[in-house]
Every structure is written in C-alpha cells, then in structure tokens.
Structure 1
Amino acid sequence: MILGMIMMMSFGLIDTFFVSLLGTDQLAAISFTFPVTFTVISLNIGLGIGTSAIIGKLRGAGEMTQSKQHATGALILSFLLVGLLALLGFFGIDIIFRALNATDNLMPYIHDYMGIWYLSSIFLALPMVGNSVLRACGDTRTPSIIMAAGGGLNALLDPLLIFGWGPVPAMGIQGAALATFIAWLVGASWILYLLAVRRKLILPRFLTLAEMRESSRDILRIGLPAAGANMLTPVAGGVMTAVVASYGAEAVAAWGVGNRLESIASIVILALSMTLPPFISQNVGAGNINRVHEAYSRTLKFILIWQLAVFVVMWLLSTWIAAAFAKEQAVAELIALFLVIVPLGYGMQGIIILTNSSLNAMHRPMSALTLSVIRLFVFYVPVSVAGSWLFGLKGLFWGTVVANLAMAAVSYLIFTRAISAQYNEGSTTA
C-alpha cells in the first residue's frame, strides 16, 4: 500500500520538481493548482470509500451479481460526477484562481496546466474507483502495481514533454499536465480491462436507469460524507494559499513545494488510514471493542514516534531539499523555513487523520465529517491566519503546528466518547 501510494503521490511532486526548473513563476503557478486539483481527487477518494464498503459487503454476503452491478455503477457514477466537476472547473479557471489571488503574470501558466489537467481528471476517476473494487475483492497488490506504473510513466514523460527532445517540442508547464493525462489514460484502460475481461468483476454493459439509481444511492450514502470531508481540505488549502500569496510569488512557490513534500512525509499515516479501518470495522461487527481501542491506541503511539523521526530527517536535510526544488535563493530559504517548522506537527496531524478514518469504520460518517469541519475551520485556518497577522509567514507556519496539536486533543476525546458509546450499545444489545 505504501509503495503504491508513494508512486501515486509522486505525480504532483515530480511535476513540481521539473516545473521548478522552468522558473519561479511556473513553480508558483503549479502551486496555485494544488487545492483545486485535490478537490477533484477528494471526490474520487470519497466515491472509492463508498464503493469499497458496498462491494465488500455484497461479496461477503455472496451477492455476486449485485456486486458486479454496483461496481459497474460506481465506475459510471465516478466518470459522470468527475466529468461534471471538471467541466465546471475548466470554464471557471479565471474565477477560481483569481479568487485564490493568482496574479496576471501567472494566469497563462495556470491556463496551460489546468486546461489539460481537467480533461485528464476524468480518466483518474476510473483507476481510483476501479482499484477500490479490487481491494474490496481482496486484491491489494494489483492496485499498488497500477498506481506505481502510473507514477513511473509520469516520471518518464515529464522531462521529455516539459523540456522536449528530438522531434518532441518543449511544452513547458503544459507538458507536465500532458504527462499526467497520458499516465492516467493508460491506468484507466488497464483497470477497465482487468475488471471487465480478466476478473469479470463488472457487467459487460451499461446499467438501466433503475439499476443506476439503486447503485448510486447505496454508494453515495457512504461516499458523499467521505468525499465532503476530503473536499474540505483543499477548500481550507485555498484559503491558506490566498493568505500566503500576500507574501509574494516566492512564498507561494515555497508553500506549494512544502505541501507536496508533506504528502510524501505523511505516507505511513495515509497507508494506516486505509488499513486500520477494515480491522476496526471487523472487530466492531464482532463486538470486540477492546481490540478496537487497543489497535487505535497502539497505532497512535507508533505514528507519533514515526513522524517525530520524519521531522528530524526533514530538519537535517532542509537546506539540501530546498536547494533541489528552488533556483532562487529567496524561495530556497522559505522552503527550508517550512521544513524546520511545519513537519513538527505531522504526528499530531496523524492522530487527526486516523481518528477520522476510524470513525468512518465505526459507521459514524457524520461524526467524521464534523471532525473535519472543526479541524479545518475552527483550528487550522483561524490559528494559522492569526499567526500570520502577528508574526508574518513564520507565524503562519507555527500556527499550523499549534492547530494540529489542539485538534489532536479534540480528536482523541471524540474517539474516546465514540468507544464509550459503542460499549454502551454492546451492553444494551446483550
């Protein structure tokens, strides 16, 4: 799982690295796109969560025909919903990025990148949801291979399309988006072939309106709250990007690099957020609430120690990492500043993320959604903005650490109450 997710996340990081070689304006432009692209990806994540839960339950009950119907419906639904969101985003590029404080000199680069990226996002939906179908059927190896292959293909195409070689013209930032488009198109074709031909896990036809309505209702009942929770993150990220933009293009560039490095630094947290929930769900169903509490507690202790080690490594290598991603000294200094402060809060952020996924596993999606709202709009944004007002960009960085610390405490308290409620429900049933 970790290997596949690293390769999947490498899309943004590799794009950022090669685009950084073009200059600060191009790096700032691609940094502006992060909250927008993550909004679309978050919808796919939510649909994947709903798909996995429904397919796993149906196959466990032996309902193979229903499982194929819902898997087919999930792919169609994701294609339609992401396609609609991409269409709205494409025609709203100017409105969206002006709202994020993108300057006139950056808008041409943003248009070049997002014009192709929105088209490619439709093909991302199919492998992401298709991989959820495979995982629900017990196969975690193939999804990781597909994600790894996509990341590898993107890495190979990036320098070729961005800088050109031989008959291939240099396309600049547009080449980064085209590399992503090709990688996701290959992934979509691969997953459809596996599901339809090799594994026969989907129906070889389009669903009727009644079948589509039934499948969509079941998937969205779980997927929409999960997608909503995930989509709040880029909304808050957009607000933060707008605040950072007030410090100039160099600050935005550094912020964008830092956010992409955060994805890699938090890879173990994200992998655990996908492997802990099935364990919790099974034990809740079996009434083993003590095991749920023990698994949650041990995972949190581990992640705090692990992320502290990650922070130390990033702190020690901060200057070298900054130099690798920035040509200008001003940008490199801000990246280094980010790396010696913000990663200190990643362990606490792990507590928040794992608590959220655990609540979903305990069939409390609205509690998880509420937790996300509190995290982002009671702590993260207000505390970080307050730090910015008082102490500048350095204060903003420290504000994220303080916000994660406070929210981690709230998250632990909410989960403890959920466990107590689960004990009471078990006692009542008994």
Structure 2
Amino acid sequence: MTMDAPLDMRPAAAVPSTPANALLTSPILPTLLKLALPNGIAMAGTTLVAVAETSYIGRLGTEPLAGIALVFPFAMLTQMMSAGAMGGGVTSAISRALGAGDRDRAATLALHAAMIGACAGLIFTVTMLAFGRTFYTMLGGRGGVLEQAMQYSHVLFSGAIAIWLVNTLASVVRGTGDMRIPSAALIGVAVIQVAVGGALGLGLFGLPQFGMRGVAAGQFAAFTLGAAFLAWYLFSGRSRLILRVKSFTFQRDMFIDILKVGAIACLSPLQSVLTILIFTKILAGFGTETLAGYGMGSRLEFLLIPITFAFGVASVPMIGMAMGAGLVARARRVAWTAGAAAFLTVGFVGLIVAIKPMLWVSLFTSDPGVTAAANAYFAWAGPGFGFFGLGVCLYFSSQGAARVGGPVLAGTLRLLLVAVGGWWLASSGAPAWTLFALVGGAMVVFGLTTALSVRLTRWGK
C-alpha cells in the first residue's frame, strides 16, 4: 500500500487547472458575436445621437449647422482617441494580465488607466480652449459661423475629461470580458445627451433657450454622469476586478504597458481625420454638387463604423487573454475571424450601394447633380468598403496582441495615397470620378496592407 499511494496520486496532480475565463476556451465565432452585439447596439445609439443632434441644431439655423461642422472633426478625434486608440491599449493591457492569471496587476493597470484618461482629457481641454478659435479659423470659420462654433466648443471641451474617463473606464470593464455594462452605460449617456441637449438647446419644457451652449451642455452632463456611474461600478466591487486605492502606488511599467499600445494607436485617429479634411478640401474645388455627393457617401461610411468597431473591440479582450495565457495560435484565429466578419458585413453593404446607390441617396436628395456625384462615388468607392472594414478591425485586433505598428503604417499609406494622389489628380484637371476611384483604391490598399502586416508580424515573445 505504501508503494501504491504515490502512484494513485500522480494522475490527479497532472490534471491541468481549469482556465479562469471562458474567453480562453469558448468557440471563437459564437463568442465573438456574443461580445460584438452589445458593442454594436451601443455604437449605433451613439451614431443616432449625432443624427439627432444635427437635426435639432438645424432648427437653430444655418450658422449653427455650419459651426458644428467646424467642431465635428475635433469632437470625433476626441472620441476616437479615447475609445478606440487609448481605450484599446487599456483593454489590451488588462486582458493580457487576466489571461496570465494576474488579477492584481489587472486591477493596478485599471487605476493607472484612469489617471491616463484624466490627464489626456485635461490636455484636450487646455488645447481646445486655448487654440480652438485658431483651428476653426484655419478650416474657414468666419463671422457668425465661427462664433457659433466657439459657443459649442467651449462647453463641449470643458468636459473633455469626462469624455475620456467614460471611454477609459468602459475600456477597463471590456478588458475583463464584460461588454454589457460599458454598452449600457454608453446607451444611457446617449439618451441623456439627446434629452438634455435638446431641451437646453431649443428651450423645451419651459426652459431657457441656450442655443449651441445648451446642446453642448447635454453632452457635458451626459458624460459626467456616465463617468460617475462607471467609476461607482468599478470601485463598488461589482466588476470582475477588485480595485485597491489605499494600497495604490505609481508603477512605471504599468504606464508603459498601456501606452506602448495606446499612444501609437492614437496616430490612427489622427490619420483618419486628416484624410477626411484633406480630401474634403480637394473636393471643394470641384463644386458644391460634387462635395455634397461625397457627403452622402461619407455619411454612410460613418454609419458603418459601428459594425467594424463592434467586431474589433470584441476581439481585443479575446486576443489579449489568449496572448496572456500563451495561446498565440488562438489569438491569431480570433483576429482573422473578426476581420473576416467585418469584411463580409461591411463589404456586403458596400456592394449593395455600388449596384443600387439610390437606395441610400434617395433618402437625402433628389437633386440631379448631387445624385450623379453620389452615384459615382458609390460605384467606385463602394467595393472598397469591405477592405476598409477589414483594416479597421485588424487594427483593433492588433491592439489585443500589443502589435499596432503595422496597421498604423497601413493607415499612413492610405493617408499619403489620398493626399498626394488627390492633389495630383486635381491639379491635372482629372474628373471627379477619378478621385472617388482613388478613395476606393486607398481603402483596398489599407485593408490588404493591414492584413499583410498582421500576417508577417510575430505575435508573442
């Protein structure tokens, strides 16, 4: 009996422990879809807010509408940097720590992430309050339009810290694999923003009409409440992380772990905004009808971004946890699955509008010149939508693996193609359709180059 006892115990000791998180073992596609759905709903709600806000600003007059157009690129940059770029770095770092089984490190990373978000928001506030008028003037703002932009901008960017904290804390929760709470918080923020902004901006329910200041105050209030809710959720012990503020100490490697992904990833939103601004400037020389036709197309692209974002952000914690656990092959399968899903979904919509553009264009205009320009845009750029979705989704997936250099370079290539190619075509007197073809081609190059960089980049140590 004394000889047999150790032999009987060996199999039990050899049994591997069960993984702490189902994201390491669950089937990839069903899990990805389950995580993507709440994100897609939340992002769709956020997109509808932009539509609603534009609608009631339109009731304030033409100058407010033109003013919001000046502020929009900077507001979009704030959201993209905090939610998609730095937010991806936060989700990546926390999920990799959890995948490695180090919950204490994940909790400490969460506190460092909150500090990064607060500091970044403060930088945006100071920059836009100090230089906002200069930026809007450079974009062509003059007179009453510039003053309307400044009224909106002052209030909006005074609350930039709240915007950054909402997206940063939401990214912390996503890093644990929980997509429902961040999505619910963002939907709540969207509802409050529409209600408060509309009421204060238009003077509804007997309230004073504050105009553009009131519209921006709706976003200020909504994100402040959203940040408070997410902070309460994380510090109340209800999340999957236990945050210990009393024992918190600054750790340089924690900042590096987040910033090595998030800081580099922040270049991507800058590239996207620059691409839009440069191409819009080039098209302005082709006349109002051409510019309006492009506006129809870019509006659809904006509505398709939530689909890509949903798949991409859902892939980050799955990939991060797999990388933390040393499951590199699984991490790559998640990335390609998410990329394929985004490519097929967004690409399907792109092909539909390329074949039947009036399904979309007729919703906004019946002007023959604008319709012709929009039809030309969709015919040439529509087939590239799928590749754009592929590239953006793999950009997010690369954040999960802490390897974002390749996708960022692919975005740089797209920017150069649009800027240099667009300038050359415009200066050569080429017709407008050639610029639309350039946009479609740049999307294809962006998607394929991003995919190639992911394929060639070594993941893991």
TM tier, shorter chain? 0.7 to 0.9
Q: Comparing 61-70 with 338-347, which one deviates more in the overlay?
A: 338-347
Q: CA deviation at 1:216?
A: 2.1
- Paired letter, 1:132: S
Task: Name the counterpart of 1:235.
Answer: 274
Task: Name the counterpart of 1:5.
Answer: 43
**Cα distance in 2 between the residues matched to 1:304 and 1:286:** 30
Q: Relative to 1, partners in 2 of residues 1:32 and 1:393: Cα closer, same or farther, differing over 3 Å?
A: farther
Q: Comparing 167-176 with 364-373, which one deviates more in the overlay?
A: 167-176
Q: In the TM superposition, what whole-angstrom CA distance separates every residue of 1:144-185 from its partner, at most 9, and x where no partner exists?
A: 111111112222234322221243122333332111111111
Task: Name the counterpart of 1:326.
Answer: none
**Cα distance in 1 between the residues matched to 2:394 and 2:295:** 26
Where 1:32 maps in the other structure, the secondary structure is helix
**Cα distance in 2 between the residues matched to 1:206 and 1:104:** 52
Query: Quick check: 2:125–2:161 contact (8 Å CA) kept in 1?
Result: yes
Alignment match of 1:305 (pick from 345, 348, 369): 348
Q: CA deviation at 1:353?
A: 1.3
Task: Name the counterpart of 1:318.
Answer: 361
**Cα distance in 1 between the residues matched to 2:328 and 2:156:** 46
**Cα distance in 2 between the residues matched to 1:86 and 1:330:** 43
Q: Relative to 1, partners in 2 of residues 1:243 and 1:15: Cα closer, same or farther, differing over 3 Å?
A: farther
- Paired letter, 2:93: I
Question: Does residue 69 in structure 1 map to residue 108 in structure 2?
Answer: yes
- Paired letter, 1:76: M
Query: Quick check: 2:197–2:218 contact (8 Å CA) kept in 1?
Result: yes
Question: Does residue 100 in structure 1 map to residue 139 in structure 2?
Answer: yes
Q: In the TM superposition, what whole-angstrom CA distance separates every residue of 1:87-108 from its partner, at most 9, and x where no partner exists?
A: 1121101221222233344211
Query: Quick check: 1:352–1:411 contact (8 Å CA) kept in 2?
Result: yes
User: TM-score, with normalisation over the residues of structure 2?
Assistant: 0.78
Q: Relative to 1, partners in 2 of residues 1:330 and 1:213: Cα closer, same or farther, differing over 3 Å?
A: farther
Task: Name the counterpart of 1:366.
Answer: 405
**Cα distance in 1 between the residues matched to 2:351 and 2:228:** 40
Alignment match of 2:159 (pick from 101, 120, 139): 120
Q: Comparing 386-395 with 333-342, which one deviates more in the overlay?
A: 333-342
Alignment match of 1:59 (pick from 80, 98, 107): 98
Task: Name the counterpart of 2:168.
Answer: 129
- Paired letter, 2:50: G
**Cα distance in 2 between the residues matched to 1:331 and 1:206:** 65
Paired residues for 1:124-273 under 5 Å: 124-199=163-238, 201=241, 203=243, 205=245, 211=250, 213-244=252-283, 259-273=298-312
**Cα distance in 1 between the residues matched to 2:435 and 2:63:** 22
Query: Quick check: 1:384–1:397 contact (8 Å CA) kept in 2?
Result: no
Question: Does residue 288 in structure 1 map to residue 326 in structure 2?
Answer: no
**Cα distance in 1 between the residues matched to 2:362 and 2:202:** 26
Query: Quick check: 1:385–1:399 contact (8 Å CA) kept in 2?
Result: no
Q: Percent identity at matched positions? A: 20
Q: CA deviation at 1:214?
A: 4.2
Task: Name the counterpart of 1:89.
Answer: 128
Query: Quick check: 1:18–1:158 contact (8 Å CA) kept in 2?
Result: no
Alignment match of 2:415 (pick from 352, 373, 376): 376
Alignment match of 1:25 (pick from 63, 84, 94): 63
**Cα distance in 2 between the residues matched to 1:251 and 1:104:** 26
Query: Quick check: 1:79–1:126 contact (8 Å CA) kept in 2?
Result: yes
Q: CA deviation at 1:288?
A: 2.7
**Cα distance in 2 between the residues matched to 1:122 and 1:331:** 43
Query: Quick check: 1:314–1:339 contact (8 Å CA) kept in 2?
Result: no
Cα-Cα RMSD:
3.4
Q: Relative to 1, partners in 2 of residues 1:33 and 1:247: Cα closer, same or farther, differing over 3 Å?
A: farther
Paired residues, number: 415
- Paired letter, 1:27: L
Q: CA deviation at 1:333?
A: 5.8
Q: CA deviation at 1:387?
A: 4.5
Question: Does residue 15 in structure 1 map to residue 80 in structure 2?
Answer: no
**Cα distance in 2 between the residues matched to 1:252 and 1:212:** 50
**Cα distance in 1 between the residues matched to 2:368 and 2:217:** 30
- Paired letter, 2:337: A
Contiguous gaps of at least 5 residues in structure 2: 1-38
Where 2:207 maps in the other structure, the secondary structure is coil
Task: Name the counterpart of 1:34.
Answer: 72
Query: Quick check: 1:265–1:310 contact (8 Å CA) kept in 2?
Result: no
Q: CA deviation at 1:258?
A: 5.3
Bigger helix fraction: 1
**Cα distance in 2 between the residues matched to 1:260 and 1:207:** 48
Where 1:348 maps in the other structure, the secondary structure is helix
Q: CA deviation at 1:116?
A: 1.0
Where 2:236 maps in the other structure, the secondary structure is helix
**Cα distance in 2 between the residues matched to 1:388 and 1:128:** 39
Q: In the TM superposition, what whole-angstrom CA distance separates every residue of 1:129-152 from its partner, at most 9, and x where no partner exists?
A: 111111112211111111111112
**Cα distance in 2 between the residues matched to 1:229 and 1:213:** 25
Query: Quick check: 1:131–1:191 contact (8 Å CA) kept in 2?
Result: yes
Where 2:204 maps in the other structure, the secondary structure is coil
- Paired letter, 1:38: M
Q: Relative to 1, partners in 2 of residues 1:179 and 1:243: Cα closer, same or farther, differing over 3 Å?
A: farther
